[in-house]
């Protein structure tokens, strides 16, 4: 089964609350297992690799907690870098204006959030856990 353009179920739509906790999941990125996450921002489910653009460390200060206290920006708990949740662009901190988070494609339908695999973010196995797009 081809791994590009496959839908992998992540969570129910109700599991992603505006500015709230995110859902963590793992992807195969450049041959290695890498954590990723999905959150809701301005009503839209978005996902990124869980790696700070400044230094490749996970962002969340506790598992699934990616937003700063006001819920406006994603924040790296280690470096304090602030990211625009809609674009992933770094807005403040060590990477301001230079870096961004690596996006993961999502679709939301059937009251669920689905990861859309592609050439760089693939499932960890070829088991067919998803379905063709």
CATH classification at residue 100:
2.102.10.10
Examine residue 1 and state whether it is found in any structural domain, yes or no.
Answer: no
Q: Decide: residue 76, CB within 10 A, 0-12 exposed, 13-18 middle, 19+ buried.
A: buried
Structure confidence by residue, pLDDT tens digits, 34-46 = 999 999 999 999 9
Examine residue 133 and state whether it is found in any structural domain, yes or no.
Answer: no
Q: What is the pLDDT of residue 2?
A: 54
Examine residue 74 and state whether it is found in any structural domain, yes or no.
Answer: yes
> What is residue 57's DSSP assignment?
-
Examine residue 40 and state whether it is found in any structural domain, yes or no.
Answer: yes
For residues 67-73, give the mean pLDDT. 93
For residues 45-74, give the mean pLDDT. 93
Q: What is the pLDDT of residue 3?
A: 62
Range of the domain at 58: 6-124
CA distance 26 to 130: 14
Examine residue 18 and state whether it is found in any structural domain, yes or no.
Answer: yes
Residue 132 reports pLDDT greater than 50: no
Structure confidence by residue, pLDDT tens digits, 14-24 = 999 999 999 99
Structure confidence by residue, pLDDT tens digits, 91-102 = 988 787 788 999
Number of domains in the chain: 1
pTM of the model: 0.89
Q: What is the pLDDT of residue 105?
A: 95
Examine residue 131 and state whether it is found in any structural domain, yes or no.
Answer: no
Examine residue 25 and state whether it is found in any structural domain, yes or no.
Answer: yes
């Amino acid at each position: 089964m081809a791994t590009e353009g496959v839908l992998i179920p992540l969570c129910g739509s109700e599991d992603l609350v505006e500015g709230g906790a995110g859902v963590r999941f793992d992807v195969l990125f450049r041959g290695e297992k890498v954590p990723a996450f999905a959150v809701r921002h301005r009503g839209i489910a978005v996902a990124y690799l869980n790696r700070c653009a400044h230094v490749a460390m996970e962002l969340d200060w506790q598992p699934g907690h990616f937003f700063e206290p006001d819920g406006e920006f994603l924040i790296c708990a280690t470096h304090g870098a602030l990211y625009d949740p809609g674009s992933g662009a770094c807005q403040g901190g060590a990477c301001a204006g230079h870096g961004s988070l690596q996006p993961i494609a999502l679709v939301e339908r059937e009251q669920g959030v689905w990861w859309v695999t592609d050439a760089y973010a693939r499932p960890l196995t070829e088991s067919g856990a998803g379905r063709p797009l």
